[in-house]
Amino acid sequence: MLEAQVRHLFAALAIALIAPALSAQVAEPQPPPRDPAVIATEVAQRARLETIDGVAVLFLSGSDRERGFDEGFLLCEEMVRLIDGFCLDPAVMPSPLAWKMLIRPRVLKTMDITPRLRERCEGLLAGMQARRGGPVQPERLGRALNAEDLIAVSALPDLMGLLCSSFAAWDRSVSGGAPLVARNLDYLTTEAICATVMVKVHARAGERRAWVEVGWPGALGCLTGFSEDGVYLAIHDVRPRGAKKEGLFTPRAHGFQEVLETLAPGPELPERAAELLRSHRFIMGGNGMLAWSTRDGAESTRGAAVLEIDDRYELEQGVSVRRSEETSYIACSNHHRSRAENPRCRRYGSIWSGLGASAEAPLDRAKAWEVISSASVAQTLYRLVLDLDRGLLELDLRASASNGDWKKRAQLDLRALLARAAQLQAASAPPQPASDGR
């Protein structure tokens, strides 16, 4: 009798433990995959992917999650190619085990993963899965991709830094006076990243300004950017030194994006940008080439400065502003900086020498190309010259990682691209409720 009661008791406990799991499985069936054609129609209301003068241009609008979804859906195969052919390529990552054991855990443990960033990365993943109709498994990763992988991808420039060199020139140093900026982005080059460099146009989001970036699929933040207000910002690496500030780190590209989205041009811009950057902790140092040009009625303002960032917080709280003292031009590289004991840099010297000649013969675009090309290196992934007044961009993209060939130089009107993004945002916005007149 007692044995029978014990058996009944164990049976009842087993049912109590198993039943919720069974009911949960019944209560939460997986929805059937949606028709990609229907999804594509929805995406087309918010985003566009076009080729303009040989360059892939992605227009994004909507919420952060929608922008992520649309980028993932439209660029799924390019993102998989980059993960396999750049993030996990043997030339960049010793083995997929290094990604699993070192890179990804370090990012997830030490990075400030904001709700906005998580929304974007979860959207990216959902868009890629919608395009594939299920899990996305890059070959070298060896498992299904998840949002945490994409968060780590967004922080990769802070773990495997860029080199880079650039300059800004204006007023008497430029023929006609309109400000010119030029830049080399130097990075680890593989065939996959050479093939996927592109332009993204971000529509305004509430109070956040619209802006254009030169980057690649899945790269989040500003490596090279231009805002609708005429503010330009480009990143250059510096190895940090000194004691680390307490707290989680912000990828520099995310901090630079915040500058473009929230700050207006003007003589006080460099100090306001420095103050914004001081509110973050960065794991990698950097030099940021900041320049601006805007016309408000009869008033105009233009100028440039270099934002020098590292983890020596006893020195100007970690960010110094370097302005031009006696010239209407300024140069920048990842080595030359006022916060360094040894500011020598061959690429900086080459650019500075070329800019010095502008005292006798002011720069035009052709001369600007000569100056910036003199500092290009084997790892230069792209280079550009931009007229800040008109937003006219000339862009050179490397054709291959194995040789020094460049694609045909592209010309893009950034102000026209921003205007198109604004139209896309307006067309995709939900209709406002009608007023009853009260």
Q: Which amino acid is at 293?
A: S
State residue 299's pLDDT score.
56
Q: Are 183 and 224 in contact (CB under 8 A)?
A: yes
- Give CA–CA dist 386/393, Å, rounded: 4
Which has the closest alpha carbon to 309: 247, 249, 243, 236?
A: 236
User: How buried is residue 115: exposed, middle or buried, by Cβ count under 10 Å (0-12/13-18/19+)?
Assistant: exposed
- Give CA–CA dist 62/68, Å, rounded: 10
Token pair of 105 as six digits? 């855990």
Question: Buried (b) or exposed (e) across 117-148, using 16+ Cβ within 10 A?
Answer: bbbbbbbbbbbbbbbbeeebebeebeeebebb
State residue 8's pLDDT score.
42
Q: Which amino acid is at 296?
A: D
Token pair of 281 as six digits? 């902790």
Sign of the dihedral through C-alpha 381, 386, 388, 391: negative
Walk along the chain (438 residues) and give the pLDDT tens digit of each residue.
334 433 443 333 333 433 344 334 444 455 667 888 899 999 999 999 999 999 999 999 999 999 999 999 999 999 999 999 999 999 889 888 999 999 999 999 999 999 999 999 999 999 999 999 999 999 999 999 999 999 999 998 888 777 899 999 999 999 998 899 999 999 989 999 999 999 999 999 999 999 999 999 999 999 999 999 999 999 999 887 667 778 899 999 999 999 999 999 999 999 999 999 999 999 889 999 999 998 665 456 899 999 999 988 889 999 999 999 889 999 999 989 888 877 789 999 999 999 999 989 999 999 999 999 999 999 999 999 999 999 999 999 999 998 889 999 999 999 999 999 999 988 877 665 554 443
Which has the closest alpha carbon to 183: 363, 416, 347?
A: 347
| Helix (H) or strand (E) run with residue 347 in it | helix 346-356
Token pair of 98 as six digits? 């290094």
Residue 146 makes CB contacts below 8 A (sequence gap 6+) with 125
Q: Look up residue 163 and give its DSSP letter.
A: -
Residue 339 makes CB contacts below 8 A (sequence gap 6+) with 308, 310, 312, 315, 320
- Give CA–CA dist 341/64, Å, rounded: 42
Cα–Cα separations (whole angstroms), residue 246 to 106, 112, 316: 15, 12, 17
Cα–Cα separations (whole angstroms), residue 89 to 82, 128, 426: 9, 21, 40
Token pair of 282 as six digits? 């960065």
Extended beta strands in 7-80, E state: 48-52, 55-60
- Give CA–CA dist 330/396, Å, rounded: 22
Q: Within 10 Å of residue 278's Cβ, how many Cβ atoms?
A: 14
State residue 33's pLDDT score.
73
Query: HSE on the CB side for 130, CA within 13 Å?
Result: 25
Q: Superfamily assignment of 161-410 in CATH?
A: Penicillin V Acylase; Chain A (3.60.60.10)
* CATH code of the region 36-157: 1.10.439
Instruction: List, in sequence order, the alpha helices (H) in 45-156.
Output: 64-74, 76-82, 96-98, 104-110, 115-132, 147-154
- Give CA–CA dist 88/282, Å, rounded: 24
Domain ranges (residues) in the chain: 36-157, 161-410
State residue 17's pLDDT score.
38
State residue 191's pLDDT score.
95
State residue 429's pLDDT score.
74
Range 255-258, long-range pairs (CB < 8 A, 24+ positions)? 255/221, 255/280, 255/282, 256/221, 256/222, 256/223, 256/225, 256/288, 257/211, 257/221, 257/222, 257/225
Q: Which amino acid is at 171?
A: D
- Give CA–CA dist 61/415, Å, rounded: 16
Q: Are strands 299-309 and 410-413 parallel, antiparallel or unpaired?
A: unpaired
